[in-house]
């Protein structure tokens, strides 16, 4: 058996983390060295523990897993990030890979797939769940291969609101933080989507990451 694979878990559901921790403990040479319940905590825990692998969910409070993945990749490029998600569509997979993830697992995957994924990324390989069609991903890449709108396509206020959206904040939370009404936030979001030609939050998050608009919490 080789060296121990040190893993940090990041998921905002305590029971999910407990289940993953128990599962990983059953794998030979795998050790959970830290846990986090949101993206910001995941970044901090990786900095403290310097694990081999960060296993992270996408949908989490305060800061989502995609933003955290991008920041971990920037700060600790040697850490292999494996995204664990309920979403199998190519949009999310591509966002995760662009953010720096080297693996993408669907939450209904068999336990053995998690072990295979960990060992694959430790060998320097990428891992995508078999249920995520590579052809779908390739097709999506082909559709978006054109140049995206430049970062300055948005006004300063729109960029500010986009940063909040990419961090997973809802309209009411954004309105409170910026001292404006939720209706104004919704209006700005509609204008952002129209200007960028992106009509879902997942796509907006990818755009924000690609253009460096998202600032992760220290």
**Does residue 217 register a pLDDT over 50?**
no
Residue 64 belongs to a domain? yes
- Half-sphere exposure in the Cβ direction for 177 (13 Å, CA): 14
Residue 218 belongs to a domain? no
Q: Are residues 132 and 97 in the same domain?
A: yes
CA separation for the pair 3, 95 (Å, rounded):
31
Contact assessment for residue 84 and residue 113, using Cβ atoms and an 8 Å cutoff: no
Residue 44 belongs to a domain? yes
**Does residue 197 register a pLDDT over 80?**
no
> Which of 4, 206, 198, 169 minimizes the C-alpha distance to 87?
206
Average pLDDT over the chain reads 85
CA separation for the pair 74, 62 (Å, rounded):
19
Q: Are residues 163 and 89 in the same domain?
A: no
Residue 58 belongs to a domain? yes
Residue 217 belongs to a domain? no
CA separation for the pair 204, 61 (Å, rounded):
17
Q: List pLDDT tens digits, range 58-67.
A: 988 888 899 9
Q: Are residues 121 and 18 in the same domain?
A: yes
pTM of the entire structure?
A: 0.66
- Per the structure, the count of domains in the chain is 2
Q: Can you give the residue range of the structural domain that contains 85?
A: 5-142
H or E stretch at 69: helix 65-75
Per mean pLDDT, which of 122-126, 152-156, 192-196, 210-214 is the most reliable? 122-126
CA separation for the pair 47, 72 (Å, rounded):
8
Residue 36 belongs to a domain? yes
């Amino acid at each position: 058996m080789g060296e121990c694979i040190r893993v940090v878990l990041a998921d905002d559901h305590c029971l999910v983390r407990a289940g993953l921790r128990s599962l990983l403990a059953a794998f030979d040479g795998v050790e959970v060295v830290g846990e986090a319940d949101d993206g910001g905590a995941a970044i901090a825990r990786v900095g403290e523990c310097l694990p081999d692998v960060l296993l992270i969910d996408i949908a989490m409070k305060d800061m989502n897993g995609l933003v955290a993945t991008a920041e971990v990749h920037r700060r600790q490029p040697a850490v292999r990030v494996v995204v664990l998600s309920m979403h199998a569509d190519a949009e999310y997979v591509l966002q995760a890979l662009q953010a720096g993830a080297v693996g993408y697992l669907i939450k209904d995957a068999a336990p053995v797939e998690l072990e295979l994924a960990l060992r694959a990324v430790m060998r320097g390989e990428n891992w995508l769940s078999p249920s995520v069609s590579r052809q779908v991903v390739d097709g999506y890449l082909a559709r978006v291969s054109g140049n995206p709108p430049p970062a300055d396509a948005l006004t300063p206020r729109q960029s500010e609101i986009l940063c909040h959206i990419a961090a997973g904040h809802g309209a009411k939370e954004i309105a409170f933080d910026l001292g404006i009404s939720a209706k104004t936030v919704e209006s700005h979001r509609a204008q952002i989507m129209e200007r960028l030609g992106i009509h879902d939050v997942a796509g907006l998050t990818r755009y924000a990451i690609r253009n460096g608009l998202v600032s992760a919490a220290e």
